[in-house]
């Protein structure tokens, strides 16, 4: 799964990698959590890529209430079947810019945070879906998103049994283009970035707190820093 991630690349990288018109400065964020505002790339009504701010935690358009448990991930195995996701996966797919994500693994009875990031340190993009919630009376306008996940099958499986899917740059346009209905085998045949393109390393437990947003989140574990003093 993916419950925290980071997006630290400057606006210039966003323009270069995704081909979007983006002029405002984007602050580096090292600990993005559910229910927070995040950036996505999607196609507008004319089919042009745009950068949009939405909330992480998809609220289906038919929901009467937002609810207490946000839908932060969507399993690719059931995404076309679940009522919460099946409309968005056809018409509202998006890219979620990222520089990596966090997972937690039990080591000696202690949950240790790990940063998973591209080996080449390049800006990447999760496969995402988005939705617009208007409320029971049409009085709201809330745009939200979820990250698409799949079973881990190779190098990342020792860390966690599920991973967020990362879209290959050559297929950004294919992922963003709406299809209703989806072409037969569209998801099954989509080539996402291999797990072997990522590496993982233990980081500071400061990332455990959603209040921590700075680069200290990706610092070495406290134990390693303590040992380096002697």
Query: Where residue 171 sits, what CATH number does that domain have?
Result: 3.90.1680.10
Q: What is the pTM of this model?
A: 0.94
pLDDT of residue 227: 47
Q: What is the pLDDT of residues 6-44, one digit of tens each?
A: 999 999 999 999 999 877 788 999 999 999 999 999 999
What is the domain range of residue 96?
5-227
Provide the phi-psi class of 119: left if phi over 0, else alpha when psi is between -120 and 50, else beta: alpha
Q: What is the mean pLDDT of the chain?
A: 93
d(CA 141, CA 143): 7
User: Does the structure show a pLDDT above 70 at 222?
Assistant: yes
Domain count, the chain: 1
Q: Are 56 and 32 in contact (CB under 8 A)?
A: yes
The b-or-e profile of 42-51 (16+ CB within 10 A means b, else e) is bbeeeeebeb
Q: What is the pLDDT of residues 98-153, one digit of tens each?
A: 999 999 999 888 899 999 999 999 999 999 999 999 888 777 889 999 999 999 99
């Amino acid at each position: 799964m993916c419950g925290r991630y980071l997006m630290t690349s400057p606006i210039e990288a966003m323009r270069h990698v995704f081909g979007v018109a983006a002029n405002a400065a984007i602050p580096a964020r090292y600990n993005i959590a559910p229910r927070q505002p995040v950036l996505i790339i999607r196609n507008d009504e004319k089919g042009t890529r745009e950068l949009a701010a939405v909330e992480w935690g998809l609220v289906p358009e038919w929901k009467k209430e937002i609810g207490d448990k946000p839908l932060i991930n969507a399993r690719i195995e059931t995404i076309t079947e679940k009522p919460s996701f099946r409309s968005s996966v056809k018409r509202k797919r998006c890219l979620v810019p990222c520089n990596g994500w966090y997972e937690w693994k039990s080591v000696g009875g202690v949950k240790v945070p790990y940063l998973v990031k591209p080996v080449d340190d390049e800006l990447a993009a999760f496969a995402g879906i988005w939705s617009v919630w208007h409320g029971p009376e049409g009085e709201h306008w809330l745009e939200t998103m979820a990250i698409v996940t799949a079973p881990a099958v190779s190098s990342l499986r020792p860390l966690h049994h599920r991973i967020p899917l990362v879209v290959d740059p050559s297929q950004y346009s294919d992922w963003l283009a709406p299809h209703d209905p989806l072409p037969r085998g569209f998801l099954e045949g989509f080539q996402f970035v291999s797990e072997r393109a990522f590496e993982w390393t233990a980081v500071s437990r400061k990332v455990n707190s959603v209040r921590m947003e700075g680069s200290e989140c990706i610092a070495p574990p406290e134990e390693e820093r303590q040992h380096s003093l002697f």
